[in-house]
Amino acid sequence: MFYKALMRPWLFQTDPEAAHERALTLAASLGRCRITRDAVETAFAFEDRRLRQTVFGIEFPNPVGLAAGYDKNAIGLELWPALGFGFAEIGSVTLCSQPGTKPPRIFRQVGQRSLINCMGFHNDGAEAIAARIPPQPHLIPVGVNVGKNNDVDLAHAGENYAATIDKFRDRADFFVINVSSPSTPGLRKLQDKEMLDELLGRVAGLRTTAPVLLKIAPDLTFDQIDDAVGLVERHKLAGVVATNTTLDHSTPTWGGLSGAPLRARATECVRHIRRQTRGRLPIVGVGGIFTAEDAYEKIRAGACLVEVWTGMIYEGPFIVHNINHGLLRLLARDGFGSMADAVGTE
């Protein structure tokens, strides 16, 4: 209520990226001070054993995570558990820092509850970001989403990803290989079968013990998804994040669309992967989640974990509490004893 009535109108008067920077700066300062962090935790955090799950060997206190791109530089890490998140994916991180696309590069479409962005992986670089992540164990699992530097050609992408992952040894609880952001020229080509085979082979050969997942675009055909998922299984990766933003929109603005219009397609991708792998492969469902019902739809379709980004902008930080609370209500309504029991039961 407070967010929608007061905070959102104030934030929405500002350029979307500036508003986001403001929100992140606030998150970082609230998280740094023990008193404010505890106060946030009292108001927002939520615990219930029915929401706990062990997925790819990691224990998650609840299934709702912060999606990649929200906290690219890991500056709000201390606040995310207090807000009630069950995990946080930071990044996309590239080996070297880079400025990204020239602003403006985030656009709101308020009527559709969506965003379009073409950020181009602006971030502080792997070394600086790794230094901000405390050593393990973390309060909640911290995933590091890895992208490719713009000036690295596709033939050398594997080395670039591998070197970035190396910087997060002993810091990341899991990694996500991002080959699906639309605003890095050529990046999505890494989803082509041969290139992906080479890239995943390279990553799988690293001596990291942390699980590695692949994040895919919603614009792949089901055949292309099958190829990608086949390679994930062949190289013994831990799972798939479905999905990134979509290029399938009629808006003249260039960039990837997120939020409500992406919801159904992202769920379809989750459902398809679940069906093809017969539940063998853990899936993180992301795209257009604003409510517990949206999250539950992805869980019933096959996602063990879900993530939010655009929903945080439109619904505010209470979204995490609302989703977790609502999930318990939906589990009870349908007679499930725990989250894990509901996964893929559509």
Ligand X SMILES: Cc1cc2nc3c(=O)[nH]c(=O)nc-3n(C[C@H](O)[C@H](O)[C@H](O)COP(=O)(O)O)c2cc1C
Nearer Cβ to ligand X, position 98 or 224?
Answer: 98
Among 86, 211, 302, 311, interactor with ligand X by CB under 6 A: 311
Nearer Cβ to ligand X, position 72 or 235?
Answer: 72
Q: How far apart are CA 41 and CA 80, in angstroms?
A: 9
* Residue 51 C-beta-side C-alpha neighbours within 13 Å: 29
Among 30, 68, 281, 304, interactor with ligand X by CB under 6 A: 68
Q: How far apart are CA 237 and CA 244, in angstroms?
A: 18
Among 73, 94, 164, 245, interactor with ligand X by CB under 6 A: 245
Q: With CA atoms as reference, report the closest residue to 229 among 262, 263, 271, 261.
A: 271
Window 97-116: residues binding ligand X (CB under 6 A): 106, 115
Interface with ligand X, residue 168, by CB under 6 A: no
Beta strands in the chain (DSSP E): 53-55, 58-60, 64-66, 87-93, 106-109, 114-117, 142-146, 174-178, 212-216, 239-242, 256-259, 283-286, 305-308
Among 167, 215, 235, 300, interactor with ligand X by CB under 6 A: 215
Task: Compute, in degrees rounded to 10, the torsion defined by CA atoms 213, 216, 221, 222.
Answer: 30
Q: Are 250 and 116 in contact (CB under 8 A)?
A: no
Interface with ligand X, residue 317, by CB under 6 A: no
Residues labelled as active-site residues: 181
| Among 200-208, 254-262, 268-276, 334-342, the segment contacting ligand X (CB under 6 A) | 254-262
Nearer Cβ to ligand X, position 53 or 117?
Answer: 117
Which residues in this chain contact ligand X in the complex, by CB under 6 A? 67-69, 72, 91-92, 106, 115, 117, 119, 121, 145, 178, 181, 215, 244-245, 258-259, 262, 286-289, 308-311
